[in-house]
Structure 1
Amino acid sequence: MPGPFSSRRGVALYALVCLSLGVALAAVIVMAADAHWGNALLFALPLTLVYAVAAGFSAFYLCRAYPLSGRPPLAIAAVMSAAALVAGLLWQALAQFWNGLSLLTELRWAGIALTPALSALLFGLGVLLYALALALHYLALEFMRATAAEQGEMQSQLAAQEAQLRMLRTQIDPHFLFNSLNSISALTSANPAGAREMTVQLASFYRRSLGMEAHKKVPLGEEMQLIRHFVAIEQVRFGARLQVEEALDEAAAACLVPPMLIQPLVENAVKHGVCKMTEGGTIRIAARRAGSILRISVLNPVDADLPAARPGGIGLDNVRQRLAGAYGHEASIHWARRGASFGVDIAMPAQTSED
């Protein structure tokens, strides 16, 4: 049912207000017509309840038919004024009918002396109550319209955010594939068996990677399995020069992260760190949960004799944008070169469910 009758709570509240108005009207009748309380209540309560229900439905549909933003203000004012006057006249006529019906019972406690002054008072009250119902329904409809618009805007923002995150996510795949194909090409003549093994590992990597496409977030433990596939691909090329150490606690492994969030950091560590060092090096990946915060770090050695590379890059910038899109100001990423090592530190909300 529309308006105030759309829920049980609304019906109960509306009935309570109507009963209160009926009691107030009975008090006015007692004072104005010198009637007994029983007569005044028997006259006022049914009359007020019937009028309140009829006025509630009428005002609701009238407000929907004449929205504030869809009709000229003067036309709305004219229609609403005419409706209020008609409602006042109908209530006055209903009051006379109900009072006359009560007087026919010839019971001492039924009926009141309905004077012209009291009839005029009922007419005025009917007009005012209908105008009040119109105002309340306009407020309710505008609130509902504003809420719907806000929800629509929020859904649009979420859709745009999801599209941006999907675009950033897909940016990683061709970047990684390009580097992997270059590696396979380099191995084709020097180490054909290694090139074949790398191709198989690459297929396994993409099979697992594509399985993550349906998820907005995956457990960090699952992300680490993907990284191990990536490391296996690179170890075909680097052999013992590339080593990886992991330090993940169980609480951190269960936390959710955007898919392919850590892999670009490890790829950067290989490309800009281990790859440029003759003796190779060890990449250290650590993650721990500290209350509501998940902290992840990736540390790799760099050649201290080489000049520092420009800050950022495709991988780091992609991770930064994805964190900002998924968590806003709740997540952060910092990277810095410290002597013969380069470290990336991520702090983000520790979530175990996508809700």
Structure 2
Amino acid sequence: MHRIFASWRATALYLLAWLMLGLLFAAMLAVSGAGWGASVVFAMPLAYLYAYAAGFSAYYVCRAYPLGRRRPVAIAAGVGVTAACVAALWCGMGAAWNSLLAALAPDSYVPVASGPVLAAMFGLGLILYGLAAAVNYLSIESERVRHLETQRLQMKLTAQDAELHMLRARVDPHFLFNSLNSISALTSLDPAAARAMTVQLAEFFRLTLGLRADHMVTLERELQLVRHFVAIEQVRFGDRLRFDAAVDPAAGNCLLPPLLLQPLVENGVKHGIGQLVDPGQVRIEAVRTGSILRIRVENDVDPDGSAGAARGTGLGLVNVRQRLAAIHGHEASVHWARRDGRFVVELALPAVTTALPQTATELEGT
């Protein structure tokens, strides 16, 4: 019950509930023949005394007999014996309080406590203690579930972060190797192009190093990364690689997991344009339709090649699908197919423009 007393609002609601119970107890005494004044004076202090006694003791008893770790018989016995002891102590205090009031105001106070009243107090004490124990068990279970959810989110973020690092580790080496070879070749043939490519390469890696798995990026920023990548690859492929992006203005501010589109474009360049003799195009289209963001990434492929060659091993596509599923669940989808000499990847995900509460700290703050 410590969580109730940790907040003044919760404490006020708790005391208000016991005020109602105290007034109900006083009404029961008044109906049985005692006066209203004597009943209220007798019942209200005892109600608040029992509120704290039952609240604190029930909390620690529930902690000592946790659900799922103790047998039901042991839990019932532990809670029942404690409830009987606390209720008996409450009755003893009630009798003492009744005697004290009678001694302090013998002319105005009508003694309330009698054998039947004390017996009724004992039964009421058992019931109230049982309710306090039930509330505490609910609070403890809610806290446990919240803790498990926090752990699950932390594990999810750790997995996403590892996924992002693994994606970088997969993308960076061969891309860097090809880029450095191109820069080396251009150094003597076209120094200005070599310098331009070096700047693009540095900017690309600067952007990727600043990415974090628990921070979404806007579609515009993801496209900025893609454009740097394409600019570097265009030095290698020349006029054979063409790139176009058609983005709805309403879609530009939508949030994506980082490095979501770059692997798709990389696959399109490597397994599509790289297998062509003639020039080919990689195109990105993005549009927001209501609450859904739809993105289409397509590239030309060799009409005589196999579908497997067009899409490589498919690991990049599976990775994209898994990352979207981890964040948006069934609300996101990824489909790909080969159509009329082009390889097409279609993504649909919620059009989110504000950061999702993905960190454990943010979750606990809600």
1:91 aligned residue:
90
Change (3 A) 1:234 1:198: farther
- Find the aligned partners of 1:59 and 1:211 in 2 and give their Cα distance: 55
Change (3 A) 1:199 1:321: farther
Instruction: Find the residue that maps to 1:334 and give its secondary structure.
Output: strand
- Find the aligned partners of 1:138 and 1:81 in 2 and give their Cα distance: 14
1:247 is aligned to 2:246: yes
Change (3 A) 1:129 1:173: same
1:219 aligned residue:
218
Map 1:183-262 → 2, pairs under 5 A: 187=185, 192-194=188-190, 197-198=193-194, 201-202=197-198, 204-215=200-211, 216-262=215-261
1:351 aligned residue:
352
Whether the 8 Å CA contact 1:220–1:253 is kept in 2: the answer is yes
List runs of 5+ in structure 1 lacking aligned partners: none
- Find the aligned partners of 2:255 and 2:317 in 1 and give their Cα distance: 19
Whether the 8 Å CA contact 1:335–1:345 is kept in 2: the answer is yes
- Find the aligned partners of 1:7 and 1:219 in 2 and give their Cα distance: 39
Change (3 A) 1:125 1:329: closer
Instruction: Find the residue that maps to 1:254 and give its secondary structure.
Output: coil
Q: Which contiguous aligned blocks of 4+ residues in structure 1 show a shift greater than 6 angstroms?
A: none
Whether the 8 Å CA contact 1:3–1:60 is kept in 2: the answer is no
Larger Rg: 1
Map 1:1-355 → 2, pairs under 5 A: 2-32=2-32, 34-70=33-69, 76-106=75-105, 108-180=107-179, 187=185, 192-194=188-190, 197-198=193-194, 201-202=197-198, 204-215=200-211, 216-310=215-309, 312-313=311-312, 314-355=315-356
Instruction: Find the residue that maps to 1:44 and give its secondary structure.
Output: helix
Q: Which amino acid aligns with 1:10?
A: A
User: Mean alpha-carbon deviation: is it higher for 13-22 or for 36-45?
Assistant: 13-22
Q: Which amino acid aligns with 2:346?
A: D
Instruction: Find the residue that maps to 1:294 and give its secondary structure.
Output: strand
Q: Per-residue deviation at 1:57?
A: 2.0
Q: Per-residue deviation at 1:79?
A: 4.3
Q: Per-residue deviation at 1:267?
A: 3.0
Instruction: Find the residue that maps to 1:212 and give its secondary structure.
Output: helix
Whether the 8 Å CA contact 1:331–1:347 is kept in 2: the answer is yes
Change (3 A) 1:219 1:123: closer
Q: Per-residue deviation at 1:253?
A: 2.9
Q: TM (normalized to structure 1)?
A: 0.82
Q: Which amino acid aligns with 1:284?
A: R
- Find the aligned partners of 1:323 and 1:55 in 2 and give their Cα distance: 49
- Find the aligned partners of 1:126 and 1:41 in 2 and give their Cα distance: 17
- Find the aligned partners of 2:328 and 2:190 in 1 and give their Cα distance: 40
1:12-56 deviation digits (Å, cap 9, x = unpaired)? 332233233323322332344x22222222222222222222222
Q: TM (normalized to structure 2)?
A: 0.79
Whether the 8 Å CA contact 2:332–2:348 is kept in 1: the answer is yes
Instruction: Find the residue that maps to 1:247 and give its secondary structure.
Output: strand
User: Mean alpha-carbon deviation: is it higher for 56-65 or for 298-307?
Assistant: 298-307
- Find the aligned partners of 1:332 and 1:70 in 2 and give their Cα distance: 41
Whether the 8 Å CA contact 2:99–2:111 is kept in 1: the answer is no
Instruction: Find the residue that maps to 1:297 and give its secondary structure.
Output: strand
Q: Which amino acid aligns with 1:83?
A: T
Q: Per-residue deviation at 1:232?
A: 2.8
Change (3 A) 1:204 1:143: same
Whether the 8 Å CA contact 2:29–2:112 is kept in 1: the answer is no
Q: Which amino acid aligns with 2:266?
A: E
1:220-253 deviation digits (Å, cap 9, x = unpaired)? 3333333333333333333333332332233333
Whether the 8 Å CA contact 1:99–1:111 is kept in 2: the answer is no
Whether the 8 Å CA contact 2:35–2:110 is kept in 1: the answer is no
Whether the 8 Å CA contact 2:42–2:112 is kept in 1: the answer is no
- Find the aligned partners of 1:271 and 1:142 in 2 and give their Cα distance: 52
List runs of 5+ in structure 2 lacking aligned partners: 357-366
Aligned length: 351
